[in-house]
Amino acid sequence: MIFEIYALQGEIKQTFYYDNIENILSDKDGNIFEYPENSFTPESRQEFIPFSPNLPLKKSKKINILKIQLGLSCNYSCTYCSQRFVAKPEETNKGYIEQFMSMLDNIEFNEKEGLKIELWGGEPFVYWKTMKPLVTAIKERFSDWESSPRISIITNGSVLSDEINDWIIENISSIAISHDGPGQHVRGPDPFEVAEERRLILELHNAMQGKTSFNAMLNSKNMSRKEIYEWFVELTGNENVSVGEGSLVDAYDEGGLELSLLTKADHFKFRQIAFNDIYSTDGKIGFVNIINKLDGFIKDVLSHSKAKYLPQKCGMDQENTIAVDLTGNVITCQNVSAVSVNSNDEPHLSGNLSDIDAVRITTSTHWSKREHCSSCPVLHLCKGSCMFVTGDYWEKSCANAYSDAVSLFALAIERMTGFIPIYINNDVLPDERKDIWGTILTHEEVKVPYKFPIKVITENL
């Protein structure tokens, strides 16, 4: 679809045209923005395979990203946690490891292709007594590889100890601490307010320079990446501190809805902050993933990487990426469980490692099967948002993702042309998406009553 983009450079006006399917940017004279020699070749990427509940996603036996969910138990209960209302499966323990390792024989790994293994909770270190022997078994399983599999963990950092820190340094390739910086009070408990937890996190961070990050999410009460970055610089004394994640929250549940951008004014405010945080600092704000996303989009536009090569945001649409629990159950992703059911009434349990050919993921929808994704100007930055969210949660997640992506879209256009986009003209987009900064049109707020979550407590009588 072609989008007409009105842009400014000071008082100079310019019009550009962007084709989101062919991924081509041109000016009003038909000049195309591209590399002098096109570096992209169709053979360098794989075309997407569309999927939906009626056309289930399958998985390959050849795996290069293995996500192992240890369980959903956690010592925190964060406001917008994507797992907060997910049904918990029966807990596993280290007694499951031997059988789990034998089940890995049903899938294939290739040293040349590489293997990344991610250990997930809940809070992963709640499962310390299982995690430690599991990693030992994994290292033994691949002991003949010259390049060992990379093992990563994301933790809230509150249950670390000196013993665990030493083990992490010795055995783990990378680790991230989930923390929202100045907005942590909105998210949940703050381990940096506990002296011993603060010491352990900072000592681990210092010991694993280049292998650690603080993963922060944005929400309506914590909008500025620059402020988050500066908070972590002050905490660590390191201007090169790495901040991971960095996107607006998806609305997985009522908590995510409450912290979404609820008004048009919120959306316009966020877009302006997100743009200025990067524009005013030339991208020096620590959020590596966000800057890589921006740079990657520019590269893809200049090399005309078409939408048919575009994967989902999370990567779980890839046939070589799989999420499993210790019983070998294959699940939609690490944020659900084998006993949970999606809002489309489909089970997140998709099969088992014992019969990988039979795995069918019926919870999810590829962006090409969503109603509006193919007609969205920020498709190549949003990449379809969460592939299993549906209904009202999807509508709000989509709105969050659009505002998150359109600020990066504007930054990318400015870097390629020297002009800052202010308006995207198209018959499909609603006015609040056309008017990027909310400065061109008059926008009336539509009051939508918010349904606060009700926690139901059952008692055995």
Between the alpha carbon of residue 94 and those of residues 99, 115, 133, the distances in Å are 10, 23, 7
Q: Mean pLDDT, to the nearest integer, of 235-252?
A: 95
What is the pLDDT at residue 316?
97
| Whole-number pLDDT of residue 453 | 46
User: What's the pLDDT score for residue 41?
Assistant: 57
What DSSP string describes 48-92? Answer: P---BTTB-B---SB-SEEEEE--S--S---TT-TTTTSPPPPPP
What is the span of the domain harbouring residue 337?
Answer: 65-358
Q: Assign residue 74 the CATH number of its domain.
A: 3.20.20.70
For 393-416, give the DSSP string: HHHHHHHHHHHHHHHHHHHHHHHH
Where helices occur in 303-390 by DSSP H, the ranges are 379-382
User: Is the residue at 100 inside a domain?
Assistant: yes
Domains of the chain: total:
1
The predicted pLDDT at position 452 comes to 45
Q: Are 79 and 188 a contacting pair, CB within 8 Å?
A: yes
Please give the DSSP secondary-structure letter assigned to residue 355. G
In the prediction, which pLDDT does 37 show? 72
Summarize the confidence of residues 368-374 as an average pLDDT.
96
Alpha helices in 286-351 (DSSP H): 288-302
Does any domain span residue 269? yes
Residue of 209 and 449 predicted with greater confidence: 209
DSSP reduced 3-state for 4: strand
399 assigned to some structural domain: no
Q: What is the pLDDT of residue 461?
A: 29
* β-strands 65-69, 116-120 pairing: parallel
Classify residue 178 as exposed, middle or buried by CB count within 10 Å of its CB (0-12, 13-18, 19+). buried
In this predicted structure, the answer to whether residue 39 has a pLDDT above a threshold of 80 is: no
Calculate mean pLDDT across residues 153-180.
Answer: 98
7 inside domain? no
Average pLDDT over residues 364-381: 97
- Per-residue pLDDT at 216: 97
Residue-averaged pLDDT of the chain: 94
46 within some domain: no
Strands (E), 223-354: 243-248, 321-325, 329-331, 349-352
For the cut 60, the answer to whether the pLDDT of residue 294 exceeds it is yes
Nearest to 221 by CA among 277, 188, 259: 259
CA-to-CA dists, residue 372 to 248, 368, 369, 400, 433, angstroms: 20, 9, 9, 15, 13
* % pLDDT > 70, the chain: 95
Buried b (16+ CB within 10 A) or exposed e, 157-173: bbbbeeebbeebeeebe
Cβ–Cβ under 8 Å, residues 437 and 272 = yes
Return d(Cα 395, Cα 217) in angstroms, integer: 19
Across the range 173-184, mean pLDDT stands at: 98
Per-residue pLDDT at 38: 58
In a domain, 37, yes or no: no
User: Is residue 104 scored above 60 in pLDDT?
Assistant: yes
Q: Say if 77 falls within a structural domain.
A: yes
Q: What is the pTM of this model?
A: 0.94
451: pLDDT strictly greater than 90: no
What DSSP designation does 278 have?
A: H
> Among residues of the chain, what percentage have pLDDT more than 90?
91
- Tell whether the model's pLDDT for residue 449 goes beyond 60: no
CA distance 199 to 23: 48
User: Lowest-confidence range among 74-88, 139-153, 269-283, 424-438?
Assistant: 74-88
Q: Does 324 fall in a domain?
A: yes
